[in-house]
Structure 1
């Protein structure tokens, strides 16, 4: 049995206030009565006053403005406009969120404020020149992994890699991977699963968008003891591009102009040791790998690997192989 619109007057009034009012857009009791008419609801001013009082007691921050232009508006919401701008920009700039899904999420975020402030969200951060994935399976993968984490269960999946034809091809001829998932992390605009591989007795990471056919297993997760003192932030920070390599502290001799670069890469707590008026040492824990060497090479002559000796030799070999391509 359908409920008569008149009986839902207070709910419609709440919707009107949320969608059509803010500090710069105020509606009088007469304006609110006219808006309710759009829903086929008749309302006298006294009943509107009573409904507003009920909504205020319910917890809505409805402010009454007096003076030459009296009226009502919603003063605060779950998310303030600057917070929504940050969230919208994060969605729009995230590479792993498709353009279609970005549009859907932004429309929902716009519903968290008035229609007038929602226009500011569209104007300020509606940017389409950023790289976007076309793979929407990541949303279902993340959901499956969260379900496994909540259920304390292992998972199986197939893993893929890109081919020269720009197609994802299953690795190991489509063999199944069996792991215990323990965390999800976002690094370099990609989602990664951090998991324990019992067969190899090692902590591994996998790009979530490259995981295929995830199944939650009946087996309980294992490897909990390996994660008791696991620092996820440190793991992500030292693993350049999430490609792995062996972990070691590397001494880097840097020009003073690189202070910001080092703090951005290794965090604000990394010690900077002055060497002279123009240089300093930093000794972060990194995953020594081609990705790390590529990062150092990109900075150029302003940085030097000063130790340990085996890392210096590996870097020399890395550079030698690059040069050989141009001989």
Structure 2
């Protein structure tokens, strides 16, 4: 395997088309096809499935893709380190933010990077946490914010903050009757076990929020009444606004639309929270630029915690 062949293969997987990959790589398609065939012959396995709708990686292809991304990243890092040795921080930093985190930290981070590190090119991916985790596992991100509290063999975690979760929307009368006022007399609450009676729309099982909820529900001996899996924050909120079902979100998720101020919210008791963690892929080297952007993000999160809003320090 050579570097050029790995770059071509990565382009094929990411674009799902030999034609498009050839255009991006600035090479003739027959030459690209020959490179792919030579790579498959060298490794002795099929790397892609060819079909009418394009090409998709085989299991062997997905494995090679992950390694190729890591190797190419290492080469890019070495090249950048040599070029900027003794100079200002520069380079490309790719980060992933789930939709709710992007709403809170996206623009402050863009401003901070532009002000402090004009030589850094920021690539910000906003999506549901399941897709962000997939990008991270495939070594396509320098780091990401994810709602996790346990590391893995592929990902190293740095807890930054925690957020309480709220029932959003108007629950049925039987469940609503179980809510009560907190000691302050200001904040409506609902018992965790009462959620078994509430029709819910939630992100799918691949998302961090859903994993937290399912784990707590199981611990309480209840089964959540999920009527739809919706991997879209705007649609989750609109469903709650229209009274079709309730959803469960942190308070920070309610700041995107003016109408969200009128949405009923109830703190779930015993209190449920999710941990906001800085996640680094173990297979990739950390660049000076990535470390600098991560430090800026830490400062933004710390400032949000100091404001006294929904974000709290991460639990030990």
Higher relative contact order (CA 8 A, sep 6+): 2
Which of the two has higher C-alpha Rg? Answer: 1
Tell me if both proteins adopt one fold, taking TM over 0.5 as the criterion. no
In the superposition, the TM-score normalised over structure 2's length comes to: 0.29
